[in-house]
Structure 1
Amino acid sequence: MKKVAFYTLGCKLNFSETSTISRSFEEKGYQRVEFNQDPDIFIINTCSVTENADKKCRKIVREAQRINPDGYVAIIGCYAQLKPQEIAGIDGVDAVLGAAEKFRLTELLDGFVKEPSGNARVYNSSIEEVLDYHASYSLNDRTRTFLKVQDGCDYPCSYCTIPLARGSSRSDTIGNVIKAAQDIAARDVREIVLTGVNIGDFGIQNGIRNERFADLVKALDEVEGIDRFRISSIEPNLLTDEILEFVTDSKRFVPHFHVPLQSGSNKVLGLMKRRYRRELYKDRVEKIKALMPDACIGVDVIVGHPGETQELFLETYAFLQELPVSYLHVFTYSERANTNALEIKPVVPASQRAERSKMLHILSEKKKRAFYESQLGRVSRVLFEEEIEDGYMQGWTENYVRVMAKYDPLLINEIKTVQLSSIAENGLVEVTEPEMVLG
């Protein structure tokens, strides 16, 4: 029995796909082990969002060689689709598989026999040929699962390589997603996080829009055995009143939204080719807060995009400062081959990008602290996780407050109603002792 290990870089979507691919190996008789447990085969699922993709990939390949010099190393994922020949030239890589081939690893590589040095096998179809949809979900954490419902993207944002790495927008059917959710429920998972590249664009099968994301949400709300559904990220122009109003009164969808902004300047949004302007974004945030005052709202924002002057960056800073959002995911712009942003001037110096990133990270900490403070004294329902640190366990409230409580094995994978009492030195919210839970 050959041993196989997996390493995943990047987003929740990658994790869901790695988990599904790993299960296909186990079904064929392979033994899944941890990366450091001397595997015979290393599968590295890569990301392409930042310029560090190359460095990260090389580092993990070197670590695989150190663990087992005779191990077979296969690279899959977005970076593998975008730059297969570059990856094939990395010392120690035996195979590179693109977006259309990564779900056929065991079929294409047939026994995983190492190649002579410098002769990596490359399987990489043109992204225009990547049309099939592969359902996936993670099972790495028994408290919650990342369930893929959509893949690819038809939005040509200036800075983004995802359409080049994952192809056009395509989705599973509502019926298949419901079946997957029911299968997950049978595994004692309490929470499902819906994930995809552009999940608000759900509903396209074989190039035709047949269904809607709003209808998927309504159908999932009826699935028994899952306590919570969480929407991982959704474009503001696709976050409709219909969806928000349904979530407000939902049995299972939680009041937590992650809504990409990318820039608070309309001029920069235009340069980025985003499909909305700041006025619409503000309207969506205000609508969420009007319906669900305690909702948590996360924001993606990019700093240093070409054409972003200091004045335009300060527009973004002031816009975010005034918005009642809860935290920021800050990305520093990095040049990506074959993107329109490379043609936009002026280019923002790296030092200014770093300074702007620092400013927004500080603002994010302030926003998060203010949101947590607004929740103190509230009674909330917490899903406790298995991880233990210094005698404490952690969990998430429905509206995404990270809490800590003294370790109690009976609380693992349980949802308990507690009172949020204070903010600890590590920034997490302390709750009443487990024996004092309110229900």
Structure 2
Amino acid sequence: MRKKVAFYTLGCKLNFSETSTIARSFEGEGFDRVDFSDRADIYVINTCSVTENADKRFKTIVKQAQKGNPDAFIAALGCYAQLKPEELAAVDGVDLVLGATEKFKLTDYLNDLSKNDRGEVHSCEIDEADFYVGSYAIGDRTRAFLKVQDGCDYKCTYCTIPLARGISRSDTLENVLKNASEIAARGIKEIVLTGVNIGDYGKGEFGNKKHEHTFFELVRELDKVEGIHRLRISSIEPNLLKNETIDFVATSTSFVPHFHIPLQSGSDEVLKKMRRRYLTNLYVDRVNRIKNVMPHACIGVDVIVGFPGETEEQFLETYNFLNELNISYLHVFTYSERDNTLAVEMENPVPQKVRSKRSKMLRGLSAKKRRAFYESQQGTLRTVLFEGENKSGYIHGFTENYVKVKAPWNPDLVNTLHLVELTQIDEDGLFRFNFVTEKVTA
């Protein structure tokens, strides 16, 4: 009988793209992929270590796998597996832990699926992670996550990602375009570009710091790939989001007017302590530039609360800065101490209760910002791509500028694009709409 494998992914879009590529490597090895809630012979958990919460969830997911099949082989890989392999290996039920250089070779380690008393570790020094493995996520989604870059050369004082993923390195332009064409050939309508620091795209493998291509060149060439209806930039550092890219997106037929730009703090003093590579004036300039050429653009913002030494005045500076900025929503992260970072050694840690209070305030601001952005879109004509899931009798979709809509479930709408008029915001905060045309595309 063919063996069954199941995957669980924690964390970012980049992790999802890598899980999908690793899953495809099992197809030629005699495995059938099943849902993580089903009984499987192997459970693979792709870990994240951006927040303390992601670390804690790992044990819960291992228990879920053991419940599905107590005799199953459990493998852990990803960022947490690179940072703390021995810690993961000690979790009851874990049989194999693979670090950054080994995770794409998972099938090489599966000759013996017998359970181990303790997890077997295959990790590396992170400076060995200097090669690039391309990946993209497809499957039950109407969009694909296309990895174009990995690693990071920045030295932000709170961040473990360089320790977990290594130096900045990129896929070749040729291979990115090939992967994009493969995705389009499968009938997927939207591609989301992912990476650790995608604005740094172009650095080669093995520590080669010379940029073979720029991020703008990548954007320009992807816009020419036939069969792609939407291209979305997932997240890009404000100092790497250049005017040429913004202006190109404004006139592109494929790239959508949606940007996610990490800020982290609205206080210049805190930004300096974080070792971010910009100050608030540059951030304002980026937002204004986008809104000048694309008034309907959606702009999301990452922000961290409770960074060591953050005073009440500095937090309010951040709150007021974001309140006055023409943005659409926030992703709020409560600072958590991470081993082997400079921030963990800093003085004056913010009490957990204060961190929680500040986080709650910014989440409230995010809801207000999102509502105001949605209200600004009422009555406009937008193109919606419908998702593939029946959620309590409704089908959901997103406009090009990331407004979420809903309609009574209709399977004929799945993975189709329609021009609609946004008519009414429902009690759940989602838009109802009227169809303006038949399918823009099937």
Structure-2-length-normalised TM-score: 0.97
Q: For the residues of structure 2 that align with 1:256 and 1:36, how far apart are their CA atoms?
A: 34
By how many angstroms is 1:71 displaced? 0.3
Map of 1:6 onto structure 2 = 7
By how many angstroms is 1:55 displaced? 1.7
By how many angstroms is 1:435 displaced? 8.0
Map of 1:187 onto structure 2 = 186
Map of 1:158 onto structure 2 = 157
Q: Secondary structure at the match of 2:58?
A: helix
Q: Secondary structure at the match of 1:183?
A: helix
Map of 2:378 onto structure 1 = 376
Q: Secondary structure at the match of 2:264?
A: coil
8 Å Cα contact 2:76/2:94 also seen in 1: yes
The verdict on how the C-alpha distance between 1:438 and 1:91 changes in structure 2, with shifts beyond 3 A counting, is closer
Map of 1:102 onto structure 2 = 103
Say which of 228, 231, 234 aligns to 2:233. Answer: 231
Q: Secondary structure at the match of 1:305?
A: coil
Q: Which has the higher mean CA deviation after the structures are superposed, 58-67 or 416-425?
A: 58-67
Q: Secondary structure at the match of 2:36?
A: coil
Q: For the residues of structure 1 that align with 2:396 and 2:53, how far apart are their CA atoms?
A: 31
8 Å Cα contact 1:419/1:437 also seen in 2: no
Map of 1:67 onto structure 2 = 68
- Which consecutive residues of structure 1, in runs of 5 or more, have no partner in the other structure? none
8 Å Cα contact 1:418/1:438 also seen in 2: no
Q: For the residues of structure 2 that align with 1:140 and 1:372, how far apart are their CA atoms?
A: 30
Map of 2:332 onto structure 1 = 330
Q: Which amino acid aligns with 1:156?
A: K
Q: Which amino acid aligns with 1:35?
A: F
Q: Which has the higher mean CA deviation after the structures are superposed, 51-60 or 8-17?
A: 51-60
8 Å Cα contact 2:388/2:415 also seen in 1: yes
- Counterparts in 2 of 1:226-305, with a 5 A limit? 226-305=228-307
The verdict on how the C-alpha distance between 1:438 and 1:190 changes in structure 2, with shifts beyond 3 A counting, is closer
By how many angstroms is 1:2 displaced? 1.1
- Which consecutive residues of structure 2, in runs of 5 or more, have no partner in the other structure? none
By how many angstroms is 1:391 displaced? 2.8
Q: For the residues of structure 2 that align with 1:108 and 1:43, how far apart are their CA atoms?
A: 12
By how many angstroms is 1:109 displaced? 3.3
Q: Which amino acid aligns with 1:191?
A: E
Q: For the residues of structure 1 that align with 2:362 and 2:438, how far apart are their CA atoms?
A: 37
Q: Which has the higher mean CA deviation after the structures are superposed, 55-64 or 154-163?
A: 55-64
By how many angstroms is 1:54 displaced? 3.1
The verdict on how the C-alpha distance between 1:65 and 1:438 changes in structure 2, with shifts beyond 3 A counting, is closer
Q: For the residues of structure 2 that align with 1:56 and 1:165, how far apart are their CA atoms?
A: 18
Q: Secondary structure at the match of 2:64?
A: helix
8 Å Cα contact 1:81/1:165 also seen in 2: yes
Q: Deviations over 1:347-396 (max 9, x none)?
A: 10000000000000000000000000000000100001122233321100
Map of 1:413 onto structure 2 = 415
8 Å Cα contact 2:75/2:94 also seen in 1: yes
8 Å Cα contact 1:142/1:188 also seen in 2: no
Q: For the residues of structure 1 that align with 2:90 and 2:141, how far apart are their CA atoms?
A: 38
By how many angstroms is 1:112 displaced? 2.6
Map of 1:306 onto structure 2 = 308
Q: Which amino acid aligns with 2:178?
A: K
Say which of 386, 392, 395 aligns to 1:393. Answer: 395
- Counterparts in 2 of 1:115-154, with a 5 A limit? 115=116, 117-118=117-118, 120-154=119-153
Q: For the residues of structure 2 that align with 1:74 and 1:254, how far apart are their CA atoms?
A: 37
Q: For the residues of structure 2 that align with 1:68 and 1:414, how far apart are their CA atoms?
A: 38
By how many angstroms is 1:61 displaced? 0.9
Q: Deviations over 1:154-207 (max 9, x none)?
A: 010010000000000000011100000000011000000000000000001121
By how many angstroms is 1:307 displaced? 1.5
8 Å Cα contact 1:418/1:437 also seen in 2: no
Q: Secondary structure at the match of 1:193?
A: strand
Q: Which has the higher mean CA deviation after the structures are superposed, 247-256 or 53-62?
A: 53-62
Q: Which amino acid aligns with 2:58?
A: C
Give identity over the alignment, percent: 61
Structure-1-length-normalised TM-score: 0.97
Q: Which amino acid aligns with 1:56?
A: R
By how many angstroms is 1:241 displaced? 0.3
By how many angstroms is 1:343 displaced? 2.0
Q: For the residues of structure 2 that align with 1:360 and 1:71, how far apart are their CA atoms?
A: 42
By how many angstroms is 1:110 displaced? 2.2
Q: Which amino acid aligns with 2:183?
A: I
Matched, 1:81 2:95: no
Q: For the residues of structure 2 that align with 1:141 and 1:197, how far apart are their CA atoms?
A: 24
Say which of 391, 401, 404 aligns to 1:402. Answer: 404
Map of 2:220 onto structure 1 = 218
8 Å Cα contact 2:307/2:335 also seen in 1: yes
Q: For the residues of structure 2 that align with 1:18 and 1:436, how far apart are their CA atoms?
A: 37
Q: Which amino acid aligns with 2:257?
A: P
Q: Secondary structure at the match of 1:23?
A: helix
Map of 2:17 onto structure 1 = 16
Q: Deviations over 1:400-432 (max 9, x none)?
A: 000112332222111100000010011101111
By how many angstroms is 1:437 displaced? 5.7
Q: Which amino acid aligns with 2:3?
A: K
Q: For the residues of structure 2 that align with 1:65 and 1:411, how far apart are their CA atoms?
A: 37
By how many angstroms is 1:114 displaced? 2.2
8 Å Cα contact 2:419/2:437 also seen in 1: no
8 Å Cα contact 1:383/1:414 also seen in 2: yes
8 Å Cα contact 1:133/1:172 also seen in 2: yes
Q: Secondary structure at the match of 2:262?
A: coil
Q: For the residues of structure 2 that align with 1:210 and 1:86, how far apart are their CA atoms?
A: 39
Q: Which amino acid aligns with 1:38?
A: R
Q: Secondary structure at the match of 2:81?
A: helix
Q: Deviations over 1:193-248 (max 9, x none)?
A: 00000000000112132111000000000011010000000000000001001111
